[in-house]
Amino acid sequence: MCRSCAPADHHCCTITRVRFDPPDQRVASVSADRTIKLWDLQAKRTTINHSNVVSSCCFNGNGHFLCTASWDKTLKLWDLQGGQFRSRGGTALQRGHEGSVSCCVLSADGDLLVSGSYDRTVALWDPSSLRRTLVLRGHSDWVTDVSLSADRKLVLFSGCHDDALAVSLQCEECGRPFPVSRLLTSDLLTRCVFCRLKAPPTFRLPPSLSPCPSPLIGGERSDA
């Protein structure tokens, strides 16, 4: 249960996630009280809201954008440049998850957003168009966290009660993620099954036959 805030600029409920922006000039905190607060070096504070518990937040590489995830089944993108988000608010990414959104991560360039949900799925988004581009399934319970490698070729996501860690790689040919069961260095981990199936088959010819060597007798070649 939320309690009366004292002092007024503090959160009223459990703080679920805290993140520094990359320039280390601001800190974003999100809470079960449905609010997001930005704290900067001058101690200025800004409160922005969801309609339910705010479960996670993340910045892009330069700190210009903040993404927040909520139990209201939405993600919101906040453009922090120029302070316009105070009046306009965030842009909601809806119709992405059927359950509460538990976690999110933005790529450094801000061109890819990954989110996990209680609906047991991981969603990939294009922040520029605010559209979901792909849904990854495979967990038998809700997804608790997601992580994205620096080169954006590896997405890790884990579930809670199913005790499983799922790994997804980006296909070098079509660019879409695909799940893998183990990490090995092979062609199987560079292309998805669809790209492998449509690729023309390759055959290796046996090495050319060479004349049989003459038998050796006593370590010397025989001319017989």
Kindly indicate the confidence band of residue 68, based on its pLDDT and cuts at 50, 70 and 90: very high
Question: Which long-range CB contacts under 8 A does 88-94 form with residues at least 24 apart?
Answer: 89/48, 90/48, 91/130, 93/125, 93/130, 93/132
Find the mean pLDDT for residues 91-118.
Answer: 90
Point out the least confidently predicted range of 40-44, 90-94, 204-208, 214-218: 214-218
CB of 61 within 8 A of CB of 108? yes
Structural domains for the chain: 15-199 (2.130.10.10)
What's at 36, amino acid-wise? I
The answer to whether 15 and 5 have CB atoms below 8 angstroms apart is: no
Confidence (pLDDT) at 207:
56
User: Which of 58, 70, 86 is CA-nearest to residue 31?
Assistant: 70
What mean pLDDT is reported for the chain?
A: 76
Say which DSSP state 90 is in.
Answer: P
Q: Write down the pLDDT at residue 184.
A: 45
Enumerate the β-bridge partners of residue 91: 77
Average pLDDT over residues 8-35: 82
Q: Work out the burial of residue 131: count CB atoms within 10 Å of its CB; fewer than 13 is exposed, 13-18 middle, 19 or more buried.
A: exposed
Cα separation of 135 and 138, whole Å? 10
Least reliable range by pLDDT among 20-34, 141-155, 193-207 = 193-207
pTM of structure: 0.67
Q: How many helices (H) and strands (E) does the chain have?
A: 2, 18
Cβ pair 170, 152 in contact under 8 A:
yes
The string of DSSP codes covering 3-72 is: ---SSTTS-SS-EEEEEE-TTSSEEEEEETTSEEEEEETT--EEEEE-SS-EEEEEE-TTSSEEEEEETT
Split at pLDDT 50, 70, 90, the class of 41 is: low
Q: What is the pLDDT of residue 224?
A: 47
